[in-house]
A and B are shown apart, each in its own frame.
Chain A
Amino acid sequence: MADRRRINGPPGSTMPPVFEDDAGQPEIKNGKGRDRAPNVIRKMFLKTGVTPSASGSAYLEFAGSSNSGVSGLKLSCTVHGPRSLPRSSPFSPHIVLSAHVKYAPFATKQRRGYLRDPSERDLGTHLETALRGAIIADRWPKSGVDIIISIIEGDQDRETSKSQGDETWDMMNALSGCITVASAALADAGIDCVDTVAGGVAALVEDAGEGSTPRIVVDPIPSDHEKVLGACCIAYLPTRDEVTNLWFKGDLPASDAGLYTQLVENGIQASRNANRVLVECLGEATS
């Protein structure tokens, strides 16, 4: 029987109302735009050794943007191992790497469940590809290492109700953060790598306003721009000048090959910048 003594909520799910600041302005997306130069990544905070019980751990935080709803990305990574594989598992001449990426249930606008959904598994596979190139795997035969990343806060703009397709671009930012933080945690655990691998994102964006042409920016925040046309996330080893993981998504005409090359170059640049922070952090930790 319906409860008539109280004021009940609506029976189904509803979308929260969003009030516009200015009635004359039809744009829902706040058009503040990007407050950094196109080739500058956001400020980062990286610290290793935050979880005492794990053999290696790191915490990474990206600064938010001037848009008040964007709170930045917060990641925590723990590395367990190298440890011996269970007796039942088959012989492996290499270290067996397994990467788990999990959004905290409260990390995004849409609540995430406790079980990993396909997009999180997908992120885990990307991360594994990026790290497997960096780790010198044959130094630990018959052993395994688990890399567990929890995304405590994903950077999504909470103020807008309109988030058309932004989630897919947010995943790229999340992956680049995951790569950087996992690399720091691996170094903290003392697992040998050929180099420190760091992630970087570059995107081709279109800004609001008349007559704006698409331009390439690094470390994009999707809500800063009117539209993201394409983006790529790159895991890069600076001293070897090699890419271990490349993930591109977008819609580029094949005739314009320069655009793709530029995107990749900018992605590498972003990853170099992140790597500088990473190296400095590791230097501080050892000194």
Chain B
Amino acid sequence: MAQQQQHVLLSPAELAYLHSSLSLTPPIRPDGRSATQFRPLSAETGILPGTNGSARVCFADGTEAIVGVKAEIERTKRRWDDDGVYRENAQQHQEQEGEGKEGEGQEGSGDWVELTVEIPGLRDDDSGTAFLGRMLGEALLADGGFVGRLRVNRRFHWKVFLDILLISPPLSYPLPLLSLTTHLALLATRLPKLKSEGDEDPFFDDDWAAARYLYARDPVTKKVVERPPVTLLVMAVGGNIIFDPSKEELAVADVALAVSIGDDATATKTKEDEMEVDSSSGRNLKLLSIRTVDPPSRLTPPGVANAANSAYGHAQVVNTAATQKMPEARQTESEAVEGVWKPPRGGAKASVMGALVQKVLVKGGVADEVLDALEGVDTS
């Protein structure tokens, strides 16, 4: 955290200016974006031939990330209670029933996914990195369908290793970048086609062209039907809600949230079956996880108002008995003065956080926009 503080090289006066311009309606952002606009990015997939799936995303501000997905076959750990005879029968029965609709009702476990984040300049055991990694993994696992996809049969499963590398120095909080890159890499991930049947030892087709995608596609249009989750960074300043904040903007945030959303494809499907509506009517988003990101604004240095600044000859104003007793309280307890930066204290109202989450989830909002944009990336 101390490192984060060093990176934001803004004086209290600059912070106050930034805060007030971001609090305007509409907010004026330093890079001229609108409140809901993302940084322009370029993306490509399938760049690493040695992986099952990979992606590279480069933001306009120069931050760049690479994600490689590798998969290995692993023997599924059997639990003792799986061996009961009745259980075996019941399971087989279930499986035969559910054979038509694959990927449903299949259980998996969270340790089938291993996710590591590497950020240059930070130690491996840095808690900020651990936080990022857990956040990205949490979103993946909260979407219960993901581990189900990794099942091969009752005895074997795929173990997926997600290696997330930030190549550039962390010029901004790297969460949105890493999340988008992971999303694309997972979309491009292919696993060899299974040739064996049932519970025998798995045997795979060695033709890479026949490999199937981890996330299923429409066989005709080749469009992605299901998609992995994305995590968006949102922050509130004054009364404004700002998406994808840069480092400087984050330095004046009142509250910052990382919200993970998923696309509920099954709900869309059933709806279509029922009502025969056109498929472009919008997505059924679902909320997967929310985390509060500790805004670096709490670590910024406070400004000193002229009234409290002895350099301006106003020292006698504050030279009362109370301040003489507690000299350190002089600066901190002064009430907010217009144009003087004061780091936020306390938390945020629950209603403000609710508004942030609502803004992410609203139909046809930013989340839809981001998912639409990601659909435009060629992942075949």
Contacts and interface: CB of A to CB of B under 8 A. Distances in A.
Interface of A: 15-18, 26, 28, 89-90, 92-94, 96-98, 116, 118-119, 121-122, 124-126, 128-129, 132-134, 136-139, 161-162, 164-165, 168, 194-195, 232, 235-237, 240-255, 257, 260-261, 264-265, 268
A137 B143 CA distance: 38
B127 A124 contact: yes
Interface string B63-97: 00000000000000111110010110010000000
A240 B348 CA distance: 9
Interface residues of B, number: 65
B288 A250 contact: yes
B286 interface: yes
B41 interface: no
B285 interface: yes
B332 A161 contact: no
A249 B231 CA distance: 13
Contacts of B294: 125, 128-129, 132
B267 A250 contact: no
User: Do most interface residues of chain A lie in helix, strand or loop, or is the interface mixed?
Assistant: mixed
Given A133-B298, A252-B286, A261-B354, A240 B346 contact: yes
Contacts of B138: 168, 249
Contacts of A240: 346-347
Contact of B79 (A15, A122, A138, A255): A15
Given A118-B133, A168-B110, A137 B302 contact: no
B361 A257 contact: yes
B107 interface: yes
Given A194-B345, A241-B349, A251-B262, 4 more contacts: A94-B299, A136-B332, A240-B347, A242-B346
Interface of B: 1-2, 5-6, 77-81, 84, 86-87, 90, 107, 109-110, 125, 127-128, 130-131, 133-134, 138, 141-144, 257, 261-262, 264, 267, 284-294, 298-299, 301-302, 328-329, 331-332, 343, 345-350, 353-354, 357-358, 361, 363
A141 to B, nearest CB: 9
A261 B357 CA distance: 10
Nearest to A267: B350
A243 B347 contact: yes
Given A161-B81, A252-B287, A90 B2 contact: yes
B284 to A, nearest CB: 7
Nearest to A132: B298
Contacts of B141: 168
A90 B6 contact: yes
Contact of B302 (A93, A125, A265, A268): A93
A139 B333 CA distance: 10
Given A132-B294, A243-B348, A254-B261, A28 B81 contact: yes
Nearest to A168: B110
Contacts of A18: 80-81
Contacts of B357: 260
Nearest to A28: B81
A254 B345 CA distance: 31
Which 4 A-B residue pairings sit nearest by Cβ, starting from the closest? A244-B347, A242-B347, A121-B130, A254-B285
A264 B332 contact: no
Contact of A250 (B125, B287, B332): B287
Nearest to A250: B142
Contacts of A243: 292, 347-350, 353
Given A122-B130, A243-B348, A251-B143, A15 B287 contact: no
Given A137-B298, A242-B347, A248 B130 contact: no
B287 A246 contact: no
A96 B286 CA distance: 37
B3 to A, nearest CB: 10
Contacts of B5: 92
Nearest to B356: A246
Contacts of B109: 164-165
Which of the listed residues A26, A97, A249 has the most CB atoms from chain B within 10 Å of its own CB? Answer: A249
Given A161-B81, A245-B347, A251-B286, A96 B86 contact: no
A251 B80 contact: no
A251 B142 contact: yes
22 contacts: A94-B299, A94-B343, A116-B125, A121-B127, A122-B127, A122-B134, A125-B128, A126-B291, A132-B298, A138-B302, A139-B329, A161-B79, A161-B81, A165-B110, A232-B290, A249-B142, A251-B142, A253-B264, A254-B261, A254-B361, A260-B287, A260-B357
A271 to B, nearest CB: 11
Nearest to B331: A138
Contacts of B257: 246
Nearest to A96: B2
Nearest to B301: A93
A26 B86 contact: yes
B267 A253 contact: yes
Nearest to B261: A254
A243 B254 CA distance: 12
Residue among A94, A96, A243, A265 with most chain B CB within 10 A: A243
Contacts of A137: 298-299, 343
Contacts of A236: 347
A245 B343 CA distance: 17
A100 to B, nearest CB: 9
A262 to B, nearest CB: 11
Contact of B348 (A89, A121, A242, A265): A242
